[in-house]
Amino acid sequence: MYKVDLPVDESALRAVERRRAAEAERESRIFNTRARVIGVDLRVLQKQQEEKRERLEMEKQRDMARDLLRLSLDEMAMQQKKEEEELRRELAQDLVQYRAIHQRAEDSRDADINYGREGAPNASISVSDSALGPASMQVFLGEGINENEKKRAQMKMNERNLRAQREEREKQEREQKNRELLTSRELVEKDFRAVQLNALEEECKRAARIALSHYNKAQAEERMEKEQQERLRREGEELAEVRYMVTSDLLTERPEAAKRKTESSAEGPQVLTDRWKGMTPQQISDIHRKREEQCLEKERLREMEMQRDVAWDYHLTEQARQQEREEKRDKELQRERRIQLDKYNQQLALEQQTHQHYLDKQLYTNRPTVQYFTQFGTSSR
């Protein structure tokens, strides 16, 4: 028989791998102490989700704001670039115009050589051409061909440029005049409006000053009238007070004034301190008699207080003695109870030692080893 390599069943291997993955996931879920003991805090998870959504929304808004800022900056950059190109083009045009006006070729020092020697005063050479070398040549082969047509074309182009510049300058001058005219007109209108406003302001100020002067005058008259009325009232009160003091009981010194009845008093006559002239002998004797009666009453109360204190001290002493006897009796009872409890505890300890000796020597003779405890918690099944 020949040895044949049969193909491996991939489905069985995939099934085994799938079961192993499921078992690993199950073990990670079961042996996860946090999820098994503590649990999952749904409120915290929901709060975290809300915070994440808010953070994403803020990031989205920030990205949108940055996009808008980037677009605005791009537009500004494009506008600035456009303005720079426009300025560069205007500068180039001004440079071309300046060269066409102030740097013409026919105005140069070698214009007589380039334009057929028309401007030279006397450029004739007295020496023959055969006696001169290559460096002394004045005219070369091919020069001066169609020079007049070129010059006329150049002049026409210069005329067109000058005409365009003149028209542009006139246009700018007209625009400047129009702007100055509009500016002067606006200034005149502003000055006229300012004059009108100043006139109205002066009129308002004059009316306000007149109204203020009338108001101040009325206030002054009213204040003078009030001061006169206050002076008359004060003078009347002073005269009434003088009349009352002259005819009052204070200056007349009548004894009956100190015993006058008042409308609010229901106990009889009251003594008026501002009009009292002193006590009578009868009143003084009544005061001495009342004072002696009060001293006797106070002495009687003091003797009663001393008797009550002596009785209370005797009662407290008897209570202390009774409490001391009860404490001695309680201590004796506690000592007897403690002796009985010690005897009972000794008996229980002896019984526990006997029972523990029975458990260790007779009942639990086959103790479990470490391998017995390590077999638990190793699988999810």
| pLDDT value, residue 331 | 92
Which pLDDT value is given to residue 1?
Answer: 44
Binned at pLDDT 50, 70 and 90, residue 232 comes out as: very high
Rg over CA atoms, the chain: 66
* Residue 245 clears pLDDT 80, i.e. is over it: no
The per-residue pLDDT for range 296-307, each reduced to its tens digit, is 999 999 999 999
Residues 141 and 151: their CA atoms lie apart, in Å, by: 19
Q: Band the pLDDT of 125: cuts 50, 70, 90.
A: very low
Q: Please state the rounded mean pLDDT for residues 165-190.
A: 86
More confident residue, 333 or 245: 333
Model confidence at 185: pLDDT above 90: no
Phi, psi dihedrals of residue 196, rounded to the nearest 5°: -60, -45
The torsion defined by the Cα of 127, 129, 130 and 136, in degrees rounded to 10, comes to: 90
Residue 84: both structure tokens together = 């720079």
Q: What is the mean pLDDT of residues 134-156?
A: 67
Cα 151 to Cα 373: distance, rounded to the nearest angstrom = 118
pLDDT of res. 120: 43
Please give the C-alpha separations between residue 180 and each of 183, 185, 186, 302, in angstroms, as whole numbers. Answer: 5, 8, 10, 119
> Residue 92: its pLDDT value, please?
87
Give the alpha-carbon dihedral of 166, 172, 174, 179, to 10 degrees. -170
Residues 6+ away with beta carbon under 8 Å from 123: 112, 117, 138
Mean pLDDT of 56-67: 91
Average pLDDT of the residues in 19-47:
75
The stretches of the chain forming alpha helices (DSSP H) are 10-30, 33, 42-102, 111-114, 147-247, 249-252, 281-358, 370-374
How wide is the angle at C-alpha 199 spanned by C-alphas 195 and 200, nearest 5°? Answer: 120
pTM of the model: 0.23
Residues of the chain above pLDDT 90, percent: 26
- Angle of the 147-247 helix axis to the 42-102 helix axis, nearest 10: 130
Which region among 102-116, 181-195, 366-380 has the lowest average model confidence (pLDDT)? Answer: 102-116
Do residues 269 and 259 lie in contact, with contact meaning Cβ atoms separated by under 8 Å?
A: yes
Residue 156's pLDDT is 83
Q: Which of 1-5, 180-184, 199-203, 337-341 has the lowest mean pLDDT?
A: 1-5
Tokens of 172: 């700018």
Res. 268: pLDDT tops 60: no
Q: Which residue has the tokens 């999952």?
A: 40
What is the band of 60 on the pLDDT scale with cuts at 50, 70, 90?
Answer: very high
For residues 33 and 136, which has the higher predicted lDDT (pLDDT)? Answer: 33
